[in-house]
Structure 1
Amino acid sequence: MFAMELFTKLFGNLIAFVYHCFDRIVIHGYLSALSRPEQVVYFFRQVLGVPVVSKEILSQRTADYQNWVEAFARNHHTPIVWAEKGVRKEDHVLAWQRRMTKNNAYGVYFIFKSMEQGPTFRISMPKYPTRDPHYRILAHQRSRFTHYYFYIRDEVLGPMVMRVASFFPFQTSYYLNGHSFIEQELNRTQIGFRKNDNAFLAVDDVTALQAAADRLSPEIIRKRLDYWTLILGPKFSAKERKQLNLSRFYAISQIEYCRNFIFKRNFPIHKLFERSCELGLWRLTANKIAAIFGSRLHRRHRGKLATVIDQIEHGHHVFRAYFKSAFLKQYEKFSTFLRNELCSNNLSDFGLKKGLDHLDAVRQTFQAITDRFAGFQAQWLNVHVDFPLLQRIALPIAIGSVRYPGIKIHDTRVIRLCEVLLHGGTHVGGWTANQIHQAVLTTFHLSDKGYGLNQLRYDLRKLRGHGLIERDGSRYAYRLTTKGVQVALLFLFFHKRLCGPLANSRFHHEPDAKHRPHSQLEAAYHRADKAINQIVRLLAVA
């Protein structure tokens, strides 16, 4: 957890508390004994004694279940409606959910019906006659049929959703949230907290909060899913269950793990997020993304590899770093907390198994990834610059019999080179000299005479001598080292964030002495301008 220690060291005085937990979890439930065509045939012919497995037989089981759901809704006075296109289900049922919470009641409070694609079986006659006149061909297919969404308030997992397919093999999906489980745990132990949406903004005992998050286990989840599947799922008799040894296998389809930084004040959050996005687009190159996700990058890499800033609803922006079928995202919410969240749609990207029993392994792996992400951000946002570094690289050095000249912070060619190398995220294996040369010429609109290839090779030799770039194995391709990234950022920030604004303020904008500054930076510009004018006047008198 060294990375988190660095982040806490930098911003500990601004942070109220930090916690990490599972957020959204989507689990698929499969009837293991009825998932293959031959198992379905065995069930009807050997267990139920139905000689011919026909479409009408399967449809009858569907009709029986649909009639049971309608009767359940009537008997429990539960609303059951068809889902309308364009209407967000979670928003529609919010009033019923709040009513259940206010009354401290548990159970099903709403049912949606929806026509959706799902796995089922196709039955067809054999092309040629067979010895068995009842023989039929069953094969997997996807078709459109009715699915039921049961909105539940569970006494352990809190608000959850269970989706049941009404056709064989009756696949189920469960939508859980780790924050809801934590809320139930804190209520049970009578620990005070303040929660908004899916985030805890205040809590009486931070240690108890984290302990509750860590208690979410496969055993707890399986017990509650088995219970609700028995109550609300398709109906099988005791005889059918016994002969088939009927049970469900639970597999993780989608999972999110978040690390939340709750700040004491609103102001620093947006500034940190803004700077983190800016530096992330510069510094999260392909190799850095692979390092954060705990993988080694190679040329056979498959899947997405990118960093972007997306705008989502309500005007919030999200910084995303993609890796295969997973992505890390960071966003600010309610002007109160900053969240780093890892979302995976395919656990095999991390060498993990999707079975629910492997949830603890997922937790450990995702904790390490979000920890490394926070560590990289702490390095980006660390404003305690090693200024002696500028003095050291400005001096010439000798390695063996080879002497390398120093690198000056005002060297225009080096500044251009640093800017191009910092934006090398699309080059998985580093930049060749020709690629760097073309990028510099294109970016800064130079000609071959203005900056030749031999001049570039001289600059690369100088950067490599000072340990700012390295070769990619035995290839003549180059990329910035960790030290090189720090120096490149320092050079660019010095020229673009300090020298540029100061020069513009001095030569293009004369400060008004009567104008009241709106920020500390602007006030500092005024003081600097006043001091420079005083020096000029003293020199004139002398």
Structure 2
Amino acid sequence: MQKICDRLGPAAVKSFFWRWVRRLPSPFTQADLRAGYVYELAFRQFEVSDTCMFDRPQAGRMWFEGVIRDHLDVGRPDQIALVFHRRLTRCTPGTFRTRVLTRGVDPTLCCYYKSSRMKQYFKEGRALRTETVISDTHDFGIGRRVCALNWYALRAVGESANRCLCDAEAADAQPAPDVATFCRVTQPSTTDDGLYAAGLRFGEARVMTVLAALVGFCHLVRGFRNRQIVERVRALGAAPYTTRQATYDLRRLKRKGLIVKLAHTHRYQLTSLGRRVAVLFTKTYGRVLAPGLSALDLRLPEDVTSRSPLNTAWRTFERVLDDYIQAQLIAA
């Protein structure tokens, strides 16, 4: 199948065009043609897709549903929507964005970069389909004219974007970093060149917000700049965040090995370790620590704490522990 797809190129597109354009009326006169006026093909839209088949489709579907559920707050793509099997217009009531998956609904993960977009969905219940649609070739510094140079450059961009998205999802499913890595990231250290690297303290509001901003899928295609991180951190956090602070954070992230600077650019990308650390920090803080501490808040009214299984279990544990300690003191 891939060999058949590889046959498609600029020559095949031009051959198809000229085969059919001869049957259509032309606005060019014979004088125009003799003067050298001809059609020149340009890219209006270029799509590169990748299809991964699962030998166990049900397990693949469950995995993809988990990807969407995880990245509602971790990946923070620009849009996660469910495409219903009916036409939606501006007049259709309701907000068609949800993470509830039912029969007859295809989950779709979308993220955008300028005029281009990436789309991922589970196709026909057995394959993971990833598509990169480039609507403006200038977004990637590539010309619009249909020629071999532009064709293969666009194909390389699309294949790289698809691969980065799948690799990022696979990295999120990997085990968390070990204790030694956790300590190296959270505590001050020095690089192999002897440069000081400040620690990224777990739970610190600024650190958690920066890491949450970094794992966005919209950064997979071209990486991110200082200005983009400032904008996303400001949108996610309540405290002011300046360009100078972003420069400091990018420096310590780079020295910790969590990001790398792209050659000959002012852009950065997450490393495999960086994504694993960012996902671990964000998931643990947002899904375990923050909700758990909120549920255990002593200032909560009794009618609220009684409905919390965690609070009820914790109070029972405290009562049993106090009784045990008191009994041991009396016995002593």
Equivalents in 1 of 2:248, 2:276: separation in Å?
21
Secondary structure at the aligned position of 2:252 is classed as: helix
Contact 1:469–1:481 (Cα < 8 Å) also in 2: yes
Q: Which residue of 2 aligns with 1:518?
A: none
Q: Which residue of 1 aligns with 2:225?
A: 431
Q: Which residue of 2 aligns with 1:351?
A: 152
Secondary structure at the aligned position of 2:199 is classed as: coil
Residue 24 of structure 2 is aligned to residue 120 of structure 1: yes
Indicate which of 320, 330, 339 corresponds to 2:128: 339
Equivalents in 2 of 1:31, 1:533: separation in Å?
79
Q: Which residue of 2 aligns with 1:258?
A: 51
Q: Which residue of 2 aligns with 1:389?
A: 181
Indicate which of 190, 201, 207 corresponds to 1:414: 207
Counterpart amino acid of residue 67 in structure 2: S
Contact 2:174–2:276 (Cα < 8 Å) also in 1: no
Q: Deviations over 1:41-61 (max 9, x none)?
A: xxxxxxxxxxxxxxxxxxxxx
Indicate which of 382, 389, 398 corresponds to 2:190: 398
Contact 2:176–2:280 (Cα < 8 Å) also in 1: no
Residue 271 of structure 2 is aligned to residue 485 of structure 1: no
Q: Deviations over 1:6-46 (max 9, x none)?
A: xxxxxxxxxxxxx99999xx999x89997565xxxxxxxxx
Q: 1:380 to 1:474 in 2, by over 3 A?
A: same
Equivalents in 2 of 1:34, 1:455: separation in Å?
59
Q: Which residue of 2 aligns with 1:379?
A: 171
State how 1:158-177 maps to structure 2 within 5 Å. none
Shift of 1:494: 0.9
Equivalents in 1 of 2:16, 2:269: separation in Å?
51
Contact 2:51–2:127 (Cα < 8 Å) also in 1: no
Q: 1:500 to 1:370 in 2, by over 3 A?
A: same
Q: 1:31 to 1:473 in 2, by over 3 A?
A: closer
State how 1:504-519 maps to structure 2 within 5 Å. 504-507=294-297, 509-510=304-305
Counterpart amino acid of residue 277 in structure 2: V
Indicate which of 503, 511, 534 corresponds to 2:320: 534
Q: Which residue of 1 aligns with 2:67?
A: 276
Indicate which of 489, 492, 497 corresponds to 2:287: 497
Taking structure 2 as the reference length, the TM-score comes to 0.57
Secondary structure at the aligned position of 1:339 is classed as: strand
Question: Cα RMSD over matched residues?
Answer: 5.3
Contact 1:319–1:331 (Cα < 8 Å) also in 2: no
Unaligned runs of 5+ in 2: 32-37, 40-45, 86-103, 135-145
Taking structure 1 as the reference length, the TM-score comes to 0.38
Counterpart amino acid of residue 503 in structure 1: L
State how 1:304-315 maps to structure 2 within 5 Å. 309-313=81-85, 314-315=104-105
Q: Deviations over 1:319-350 (max 9, x none)?
A: 2467988955322655xx35335588999776
Shift of 1:316: 2.1
Secondary structure at the aligned position of 2:283 is classed as: helix
Equivalents in 2 of 1:376, 1:525: separation in Å?
36
Identity, in percent, stands at 14
Counterpart amino acid of residue 277 in structure 1: I
Counterpart amino acid of residue 152 in structure 2: G
Q: Which residue of 2 aligns with 1:444?
A: 237
Shift of 1:470: 3.2
State how 1:229-240 maps to structure 2 within 5 Å. none
Shift of 1:416: 1.6
Shift of 1:489: 1.4
Secondary structure at the aligned position of 1:311 is classed as: strand
Secondary structure at the aligned position of 1:121 is classed as: coil
Equivalents in 2 of 1:382, 1:333: separation in Å?
26
Contact 1:470–1:480 (Cα < 8 Å) also in 2: yes
Q: 1:263 to 1:398 in 2, by over 3 A?
A: same
Equivalents in 2 of 1:258, 1:325: separation in Å?
19
Equivalents in 2 of 1:342, 1:21: separation in Å?
19
Counterpart amino acid of residue 466 in structure 1: K
Contact 2:172–2:275 (Cα < 8 Å) also in 1: no
Secondary structure at the aligned position of 1:329 is classed as: strand
- Greater share of strand: 1
Count of equivalent residues:
272
Unaligned runs of 5+ in 1: 1-18, 38-118, 128-139, 142-252, 286-305, 353-361, 514-521
Larger Rg: 1
Contact 1:308–1:319 (Cα < 8 Å) also in 2: yes
State how 1:458-469 maps to structure 2 within 5 Å. 458-469=248-259
Contact 2:262–2:268 (Cα < 8 Å) also in 1: yes
Equivalents in 2 of 1:418, 1:256: separation in Å?
29
